[in-house]
Amino acid sequence: MQLVFASNNKNKIKEIQILLPPMFQLLSLEDIGCLEEIPETADTIEGNAILKANYVTQNYGYNCFADDTGLEVDALNGEPGVFSARYAGEQRDANDNMDKLLANLEGKSNRNSQFKTVIALNLDGKQNLFTGVINGKIIEEKIGTNGFGYDPIFIADGYYKTFAELTLEEKSVISHRGLAVKQLVDFLK
């Protein structure tokens, strides 16, 4: 079964492909000829996932799924949240985003946070949402070179390594995205 994943983020595509059974062939936006950037103008993570999935279905006619992810930090009233990818500006630079987050958390003892991923699936004229959440904390310095985004400063509850210290396979099993994709796969079976 071919399924379009409304993304050109090679890291996300790799992460999701590992989680999908071999019967699913994942196509990226590039694979279907969608080279424009899909606007993410919703004020919620759910809203952005829906916008992206609907854009592909309406403009390209494919069954597809899209995700949006945000890091929500308790001490910052849920920031960066829906603005996680562009927290430090439109350049969407992970190091700039982490540096801003760490600066904003300086002197704060509550470093509790959660990663949240919402997947919107458009399949045969119906839409379904799947949500994965993992709780953890933000550490004070970047550790690890794997992963992407905020992975070097996030440690999941019950773990002692950052997401950036885990292998892609280890992270995929416990991560917010992994949890949402598992729900998606269970639904598609």
What is the band of 75 on the pLDDT scale with cuts at 50, 70, 90? very high
Whether 68 is a known active-site residue: answer yes
Catalytic one of 68, 74, 151, 157? 68
Q: Which of 36, 70, 41 is nearest to 56 (CA)?
A: 36
**64 vs 19, higher pLDDT:** 64
Walk me through the domains of the chain, giving residue ranges and CATH numbers: 2-188 (3.90.950.10)
> What b-and-e string marks burial along 67-90, b requiring 16 or more CB atoms within 10 Å of the CB?
bbbbbbbbbbeebbbbebbebbee
| Nearest of 186, 161, 187 to residue 174 by alpha carbon | 161
Residue-wise pLDDT tens digits, 10-56: 888 888 888 888 888 899 999 999 999 898 899 999 999 999 999 99
Residue by residue, DSSP assigns 57-86 as HHHH---EEEEEEEEEEGGGTT-EETTGGG
Percent of the chain residues past pLDDT 70, beyond the cut: 100
Query: Which residue from 114, 117, 148, 128 is spatially nearest to 44, judged by alpha carbons?
Result: 117
Q: How far apart are CA 85 and CA 162, in angstroms?
A: 19
Q: Average of pLDDT values for 81-96?
A: 93
Give the pLDDT confidence of 126-137 residue by residue, as tens digits.
Answer: 999 999 999 999
